[in-house]
Structure 1
Amino acid sequence: MNENTAVSRRLTVTNSFLITLAFGVFLNSLFHLRIYTIFNLFLCVIFLGLIYLFDQYKKNLATYFSLFGLFVVGIFISIFFQINYINGIDKVYKWCLIYNGDEKLYDRGCALAVSAGILLAGSILTYILHRFKRVKSIVSVLLFVLLILSAVYKINIPKISVGIVIFYDLTELAEYCGKLFNRNSNRVNNSIATIYLAPACLIIAILSVSFPSHAEPIQWRGVIDLMHKMEEKGSLLMTQLQYFIDRTGSEFTLNFSGYSEEESELGGDININNVTALKIKTQSKSTAKGYLVGSINDIYTGRKWERSEAEKEYSHEEYYYDFYELLNAFAREEEAGRDLTNLVKKKSYNIEYYDIRTRSLFYPLKTFQINFNKSVKYNETYQGAFLYDRAKGVGTKYEVQYYELNLSSERLQEMLRNAKETDYMVSEYAINKAAKDIFDYNTSGSQFDIIGLKNDLLRRSQEIKKQYTLLPENLPDRVRNLSFDLTRGLNNNYDKLKAIEAYLNKLPYTTKINKTPKGEDFVDYFLFEQQKGYCTYFASAMGVLARCLDIPTRYIEGFVVDYKNPDSSNTYKVLSSSAHSWVEAYIEGIGWIPFEPTPLYYAGRYTLWAEDNSDYPYHDSGVTIPQITGVPPYNEGLVNGNTPGAEESDKVNKKSYVLPVLGILVSILILFIGIILIYYGILVRKYGKKFKSASDNLKLSLTLAEILHYLDKEGFRISSDETLLSYATKIGDKINFNHTSFLSIVTVYMGVRYGEYEVKTEELKLVMDFLKYFKYHLQEKLGKRRMFFDRFLFLHFYQ
């Protein structure tokens, strides 16, 4: 071995050592393995030293004897000390599945095994890759990009790893500059020249990570904006393609935004997307957040919410009756001489669909008018949601006018506590006066029948109380008992609802959660076993607990509008991550009223109009939750929210999933490939035995069957009404190998079959040579992988 080769090989080892150590330390930090850096360094030296020695002396027979000797020693140690390697691997695997950074679950031995496995795999991979030219240049660029991305996405990387990457990139830069400088000279080997600059690169790297970092990291605003724009445009393009390919679409559900693993059942871990779904333009933003209804469900099954297919028996839309029931309530209050200022405001949204494809028409609660810029067809569901006849996508625009209620106003809360039944209808004059004075709405052109309206409202109220209080027969009793305990001593539905809402607001919020076990009721498991979740869990729980008290509720899915960062035309982006679910309860005499049991959203819903909305403080509803016995205690903290420990907790959750998922995927892939190869080997062996023991006539039939299989792959398919001879005549000389056409092969077979004689040896050889050259042709045309797959199919179906 000459000097340059030896130096290059040592540089390969050095580069492999640097990258392996950097990633080993980073993964140790990411997964909370808590292994000392000196131990990682020691393992890297051992592994790469062995790899280097093997590579240098791989032609020496003694190397293989040494490896075999180590294997024998390992077996001897396992027998002498009664070590079961299989059980050890199984233990490490199971530990990886449950470990999430919690100190109580930490196992030093398992952590050492995982760290050693990562470093061994990394050592082998990086050593092999660094044997190829240009690999170091590619890796250098990738590492530089990864450092920037880690800063953009605020991923913490240990300083040791950062320093190694800087040193690695600097040495590659030095080598590249040396090549440019000496490209017309053979005086100096650039790899050797890099060695002399290594000390300077090392000093720069050490200084780079030694200086104290600024409290505020680099913001990378330009990079972040560029990445967000690229993500947005790419996602929008895919949505538009889906829209033009298929306009049938479906109703909006939270799985549109990553809130569901399956459409069929509620809950489970989620990954939230962050593209712009809608654009909202308004001149009258609120201090409270806005809510857009997308879908409404009325049936709870124990595992999911569904929409019943009942039909309404009254003529107008649901939002029409909801508006007039509210108007009637305010007219009563106005007749009684009560102060109604600052309780309701008339507002409007101009809604534009952007990166979304759905049949759902989004609108706020208490909408009274919808205006389209062009004619569209849509229908109202029994529950009150609107569905287009076909899916709508980017460019769909319309205006909704609605009334916003000041839900935090004590006067409005008092109205809700003292709500009258629907049959208490005021006069037409009182309704017209309240509409003008309070709602700024002119009813003179409505021409409504006050008696007919009263009858419709009464029938609707009775129907709502019947339909929206249904519960599964097998709902656990402890859910009902909890609802009674929470509302003991309260004498009106509004206070009962607020008590339930207040209780749920004390439970932890998290988006990292497992699916509800099979056979368990979703709400029961959430309230008594899991005790944490996201909006789907909280809204479902409140809806069910209220129904246990015969209070009608419905489950809503839609979007939350956050009035932040508008553009110059007062347009607000509604991200897919703003998808949300909540619950609405029917207060007879007033209508549907929204409630917010999800902790992170409570304050945004109930912000007083007169106060600042920047910090979203928690507002006490004034309802005291009674002390309840037999109910699990709630956790005061938020698991995945805007609290001091939330970010750290979320990181722990991430750590608990990344390693197991990667390990499971790799294991499944290896197992699948192994099974396929073993099964293929069995098929080949079985077919070989069958072919070897067969008569010459059977060998001819088997060979022709394989030829026909490959002809089908070439596009020559035989129809059901076509004979073999006519099929061969149709192909003619298009398939010709070794100076033999397919037609002549079929002629030989037909003669043997119908002539009832044994095929001649030279004829059989002719057919087998035809197949051999045919397979050579296909392998060159299709490639080895495709040919392997085609032969696998033949062996599988023709055994």
Structure 2
Amino acid sequence: MKPDSLQLRKLYALMASSCLCAGSLMILKSLWDLFGMPAFFPLPAEKASELLSPAVLLLVSALCLFLLKWSSEKNLRLPLWGGLFLLALLAGAFLFLRERNAFAALSQEEASLVQACARNLSSLPQSASSARLLPALSARTALQLYFFLLILGTAVLLCGLLSYLSESRLWLKGLLLLIQTVILLLCAAQEIPLSKWNVLPVLFCLLLFLSETAACFQNQGMENQSPSLRKSLSVFLAPPAGNLLYLTPVFLAAVLIIGLLPAKEAPMHWDTLRKLTAAAEDKANALIIHIGSLFSGGQDSYALSFTGYTGSGHLNGGLFSSSAGQLSLTGSRTKSPLYLTGTVHDFYNGHGWEQRALDKTYSGEEYLLNYQELTDALDASIYTSQEQLEMMRSCRFDLRFEGLKTQTVFYPPFTASFFFINQEPDARNDSILLPKAQSVGFTYSFLCMDINWGSEKVQKLLRQEAWAQPPALDEEQQKRECYIYKNYTELPDTVPERVYALAEEITEGLSTDYDRMKAIEGWLNRLAYTTSPPQCPEGQDFTDYFLFDSQTGYCTYFATAMAVLGRCCGIPTRYAEGFVTTGTRRTEGNQVMITSDNAHAWAEGYIPNIGWVPFEPTPRYYEAANTAWNLPAQGGTPAPALPVPESQEEETAVTDDWTQDSLPARYLAEQSGRLLIHFLEAVLLIAALFLLLALFLFCRSALRRRSYRRLDAAGKLENRMRKVLLLGEMQDLRLEAGETLAAYGKRAAGRLDTATGSFADICTLYQSIRFGGEEAGEAKILQLEQYTDSLEKQYLHGCGRLRRLLYHMR
């Protein structure tokens, strides 16, 4: 075989395309392994990994590319691939009927046993009935293998088709390689383990791409010029034939040598790349959040970002789930759910909550006064220091904004102190606000108390039964208590009497405010939780409708009802919204991510001599919030736990559900329906855009034809000549300034000639009418129209789809 033979060039092109296709398939397989095999996938993960080895993927890619090239050369694309598709359908129908017939003869118990054994043949029981189950098991396994090959074939066909198209479109090959390179760099930055066989095909194709690009520029004589942007882009849009492919064996040998060289078992850390990736991600998130805040028209203080609670304070609507990260929290492990208070509301107006208690009559920062009241209660209690450690302990956390922009500072109940950098927040009121809204990357720290709310000792303290001597309140604390009872017990006249009656019925016979609030909390926990409750009728009190009519809702419904019922009993309450750590997921090290799904609302009641105490009436979180330390949660969501620092590893570990499965697999399992909806929405959007584009092109073409028909002979002559020059420009034959048509025709060298006439004849015809004074008759206009139509068809037939679209858009 000669070095310049056509067969050798085809072999090199096939090798390059096969490596490009195999590289894409290997990356897809690595991502598949990372996200976990879906439960519905027909084959076990270990069997699929054996079948999808790099050698198999490379051979399958080469076979697919060979079939594509051969069918294209023999003009058998539709018959060949249509026949293979029909054969696949017939094979699937045969296997399906075979499995159904095999299962028809089995009992329900035997059919269940076969389905359970389909993934593991060794689990088939050794009994006399095993031989009877083998035909059904064989049919089941064959059907699983068929679906596996069908999925694999679809992926290979798509990747092979892109690789085949990239042979004559250098820009497409560059785009595919860019995507593959970016994925590999992201995997490296995230320390995702990848085999070196994932990298070598991409490296081989990159070397070939660079050599082909250099050959394209060299063939166009641009190595000693300063080409224009248009000419440079034309290299990638339509690369000339005869690109340099003889370096293929050299590059292949170099890549194989690199692959055979010994490497360290420890992976590279890519610290710089990871820092750059994290910085770029933060900047992009901050920009998106900033743009969203500009167009949202919302306020800078935090409000629950779902339909159920609007910025104006109306309660209604459905709750939409979202896994977007909002905050990240690093620090001590909590043994109880951590409630991060954002915005606190004090006035209930019958349909929502407002903030009115903003003019304090006492001095001091509200969160410190609340913390001081708790510490004074502990000092006056009967409990020793060791017993107090069983009841509560001090924790420290670092909080970072990840996906929101707000002035609000998030803090737990009984926070002792904050640590800000160059910030002086306003902490005089219930909600703590920064001077201006902060976005992604803003960080602060705080110290707080983690309290064992389920402990009998804590409950005894909250019932005012654990005093060695009653705590003494100073003058400011007395002013604060009077202010709380005045402003946090008000209810509007819209609250019906039956709500007061229900509160009295629930708390009948109870003597302490704590017991009354716990009774209300327990009663509400029996109602139904739903994220899509019915709408409250206009004019009806929201709490009344929830308690007596719908009795279904989510956190805002339950928190509102509890706060209102508590006020019906004369207990000061307030409505708080923020985040709760129940169900948080771990990111890395001792850091957890708090997402939009953790957004929550709850009620807080004021217990004299203790302070504001959170209560959890929402059924989804009730068990976790009321479970004592060292006791597992019963049902519902398990008690959350922040990761343990090294200094606290001896403490009791609470296992959250994110440790049982890989995060991507769990995300896909929970969000599969939502992802499918988003995919369908994207498909519909793209289809709508294509329809709008087609409609636009059709209408513009119709208007142009109509306008052309209204022109006189001279106008039609000018219109058609401009079209000829446009078609020449689309083929890189621009009419230069001061250049005559005769000189332009010589430079075109027959590239504008068609079967209906030559460009020189058209130039003579145009000049004789335009400058010679001849009449533009219908025959001459018809001749010019036939020539331009033929030239347009000739151009569109020889150009690619992208240039064809660009031509129609002009």
- TM-score, scaled to structure 2: 0.50
- Choose which of 643, 656, 679 in structure 1 pairs with 2:695: 679
The verdict on how the C-alpha distance between 1:543 and 1:16 changes in structure 2, with shifts beyond 3 A counting, is same
Quote the residue 1:146 is aligned against.
183
Q: What's the offset of the Cα at 1:124?
A: 0.8
Trace 1:672-751 onto structure 2 (pairs within 5 A).
672-684=688-700, 686-687=702-703, 690-691=706-707
Q: Does 2:282 align with 1:228?
A: no
Deviation string for 1:220-242 (max 9, x for gaps)? 66654554355446656887999
Quote the residue 1:516 is aligned against.
532
Q: Does 2:460 align with 1:414?
A: yes
Q: Does 2:679 align with 1:660?
A: no
- Choose which of 97, 101, 125 in structure 1 pairs with 2:162: 125
- Choose which of 243, 246, 250 in structure 2 pairs with 1:189: 246
Letter in 2 for 1:117: T
Residues 353 and 397 of structure 1 are in contact (CA less than 8 Å); yes or no, is this contact kept in structure 2?
yes
- Choose which of 315, 325, 336 in structure 2 pairs with 1:273: 325
Q: Does 2:201 align with 1:168?
A: yes
Quote the residue 1:63 is aligned against.
75
Hey, what's the Cα distance between the residues in 1 that align with 2:273 and 2:60?
40
Quote the residue 1:253 is aligned against.
303
Report the 3-state secondary structure (helix = DSSP H, G, I; strand = E; otherwise coil) of the residue aligned with 2:577: strand
Hey, what's the Cα distance between the residues in 2 that align with 1:224 and 1:168?
24
Hey, what's the Cα distance between the residues in 1 that align with 2:65 and 2:147?
24
Letter in 2 for 1:120: L
Structure 2: gaps spanning 5 or more residues: 95-118, 120-140, 213-217, 219-242, 583-589, 641-654, 720-739, 741-774, 789-802
Q: What's the offset of the Cα at 1:121?
A: 1.7
Hey, what's the Cα distance between the residues in 2 that align with 1:396 and 1:648?
27
The verdict on how the C-alpha distance between 1:274 and 1:468 changes in structure 2, with shifts beyond 3 A counting, is farther
Residues 380 and 387 of structure 1 are in contact (CA less than 8 Å); yes or no, is this contact kept in structure 2?
no
Q: Does 2:604 align with 1:585?
A: yes
Letter in 1 for 2:155: I
Report the 3-state secondary structure (helix = DSSP H, G, I; strand = E; otherwise coil) of the residue aligned with 1:653: helix
Trace 1:422-461 onto structure 2 (pairs within 5 A).
430-432=472-474, 456-460=483-487
Report the 3-state secondary structure (helix = DSSP H, G, I; strand = E; otherwise coil) of the residue aligned with 1:296: strand
Hey, what's the Cα distance between the residues in 2 that align with 1:396 and 1:21?
40
Letter in 2 for 1:586: G
Residues 303 and 577 of structure 2 are in contact (CA less than 8 Å); yes or no, is this contact kept in structure 1?
yes
The verdict on how the C-alpha distance between 1:173 and 1:270 changes in structure 2, with shifts beyond 3 A counting, is closer
Structure 1: gaps spanning 5 or more residues: 84-102, 421-425, 433-442, 475-479, 508-512, 563-571, 608-616, 626-632, 704-737, 739-759, 773-782, 792-799
Quote the residue 1:307 is aligned against.
353
Q: Does 2:31 align with 1:12?
A: no
Hey, what's the Cα distance between the residues in 2 that align with 1:398 and 1:414?
34
- Choose which of 10, 29, 33 in structure 2 pairs with 1:25: 29
Residues 22 and 201 of structure 2 are in contact (CA less than 8 Å); yes or no, is this contact kept in structure 1?
yes
Deviation string for 1:587-608 (max 9, x for gaps)? 453542124689999999999x
The verdict on how the C-alpha distance between 1:271 and 1:219 changes in structure 2, with shifts beyond 3 A counting, is farther
Hey, what's the Cα distance between the residues in 1 that align with 2:252 and 2:333?
64
Residues 15 and 130 of structure 1 are in contact (CA less than 8 Å); yes or no, is this contact kept in structure 2?
no
Quote the residue 2:489 is aligned against.
462
Trace 1:743-762 onto structure 2 (pairs within 5 A).
none
Q: What's the offset of the Cα at 1:57?
A: 6.8
The verdict on how the C-alpha distance between 1:646 and 1:457 changes in structure 2, with shifts beyond 3 A counting, is same
Residues 367 and 402 of structure 1 are in contact (CA less than 8 Å); yes or no, is this contact kept in structure 2?
yes
Deviation string for 1:123-157 (max 9, x for gaps)? 11123235556987886786466345336546576
Hey, what's the Cα distance between the residues in 1 that align with 2:694 and 2:593?
49
Deviation string for 1:436-490 (max 9, x for gaps)? xxxxxxx5xx5x9x6x777655434532xx379979999xxxxx99x97xx9998
- TM-score, scaled to structure 1: 0.51
Deviation string for 1:76-105 (max 9, x for gaps)? 99999999xxxxxxxxxxxxxxxxxxx9xx
Residues 211 and 244 of structure 2 are in contact (CA less than 8 Å); yes or no, is this contact kept in structure 1?
no
Residues 232 and 276 of structure 1 are in contact (CA less than 8 Å); yes or no, is this contact kept in structure 2?
no
Q: What's the offset of the Cα at 1:15?
A: 1.5
Q: What's the offset of the Cα at 1:296?
A: 1.9
Quote the residue 1:630 is aligned against.
none
- Choose which of 382, 406, 412 in structure 2 pairs with 1:358: 406
Residues 24 and 115 of structure 1 are in contact (CA less than 8 Å); yes or no, is this contact kept in structure 2?
no
Q: What's the offset of the Cα at 1:675?
A: 0.9
Hey, what's the Cα distance between the residues in 1 that align with 2:422 and 2:255?
69
Residues 583 and 596 of structure 1 are in contact (CA less than 8 Å); yes or no, is this contact kept in structure 2?
yes
Hey, what's the Cα distance between the residues in 1 that align with 2:636 and 2:177?
50
Hey, what's the Cα distance between the residues in 2 that align with 1:414 and 1:348?
23
Report the 3-state secondary structure (helix = DSSP H, G, I; strand = E; otherwise coil) of the residue aligned with 2:325: coil
Residues 304 and 310 of structure 2 are in contact (CA less than 8 Å); yes or no, is this contact kept in structure 1?
no
Hey, what's the Cα distance between the residues in 1 that align with 2:661 and 2:309?
27
Letter in 2 for 1:22: M
Letter in 2 for 1:667: V
Residues 584 and 592 of structure 1 are in contact (CA less than 8 Å); yes or no, is this contact kept in structure 2?
no
Hey, what's the Cα distance between the residues in 2 that align with 1:71 and 1:320?
74
Report the 3-state secondary structure (helix = DSSP H, G, I; strand = E; otherwise coil) of the residue aligned with 1:462: coil
Q: What's the offset of the Cα at 1:120?
A: 2.0
Hey, what's the Cα distance between the residues in 1 that align with 2:58 and 2:682?
23
Computed over aligned residues only, the root mean square deviation of the Cα atoms, in angstroms, reads 7.4
Q: What's the offset of the Cα at 1:583?
A: 2.5
Q: What's the offset of the Cα at 1:416?
A: 1.6
Residues 298 and 308 of structure 1 are in contact (CA less than 8 Å); yes or no, is this contact kept in structure 2?
yes
The verdict on how the C-alpha distance between 1:75 and 1:367 changes in structure 2, with shifts beyond 3 A counting, is closer
Deviation string for 1:737-776 (max 9, x for gaps)? x9xxxxxxxxxxxxxxxxxxxxx999xx9xxx9xx9xxxx
The verdict on how the C-alpha distance between 1:259 and 1:121 changes in structure 2, with shifts beyond 3 A counting, is farther
Residues 369 and 402 of structure 1 are in contact (CA less than 8 Å); yes or no, is this contact kept in structure 2?
yes
The verdict on how the C-alpha distance between 1:379 and 1:501 changes in structure 2, with shifts beyond 3 A counting, is closer
Hey, what's the Cα distance between the residues in 2 that align with 1:472 and 1:114?
64
Quote the residue 2:134 is aligned against.
none
Report the 3-state secondary structure (helix = DSSP H, G, I; strand = E; otherwise coil) of the residue aligned with 1:679: helix
Q: What's the offset of the Cα at 1:538?
A: 5.8
Hey, what's the Cα distance between the residues in 2 that align with 1:24 and 1:285?
37
Hey, what's the Cα distance between the residues in 2 that align with 1:154 and 1:599?
39
The verdict on how the C-alpha distance between 1:19 and 1:379 changes in structure 2, with shifts beyond 3 A counting, is closer
Quote the residue 2:760 is aligned against.
none
Hey, what's the Cα distance between the residues in 2 that align with 1:69 and 1:285?
63
Report the 3-state secondary structure (helix = DSSP H, G, I; strand = E; otherwise coil) of the residue aligned with 1:8: helix
Quote the residue 2:576 is aligned against.
556
Q: What's the offset of the Cα at 1:176?
A: 10
Residues 341 and 579 of structure 2 are in contact (CA less than 8 Å); yes or no, is this contact kept in structure 1?
yes
Hey, what's the Cα distance between the residues in 1 that align with 2:289 and 2:93?
60
Residues 292 and 558 of structure 1 are in contact (CA less than 8 Å); yes or no, is this contact kept in structure 2?
yes
Residues 43 and 116 of structure 1 are in contact (CA less than 8 Å); yes or no, is this contact kept in structure 2?
no
Q: What's the offset of the Cα at 1:11?
A: 1.4
Hey, what's the Cα distance between the residues in 2 that align with 1:637 and 1:390?
34
Identity of aligned residues (%): 18
Residues 365 and 428 of structure 2 are in contact (CA less than 8 Å); yes or no, is this contact kept in structure 1?
no
Quote the residue 2:650 is aligned against.
none
Report the 3-state secondary structure (helix = DSSP H, G, I; strand = E; otherwise coil) of the residue aligned with 2:320: coil
Hey, what's the Cα distance between the residues in 1 that align with 2:444 and 2:31?
50
Hey, what's the Cα distance between the residues in 1 that align with 2:91 and 2:394?
82
Report the 3-state secondary structure (helix = DSSP H, G, I; strand = E; otherwise coil) of the residue aligned with 2:462: helix
Query: Which moved further from structure 2: 6-15 or 551-560?
Result: 551-560
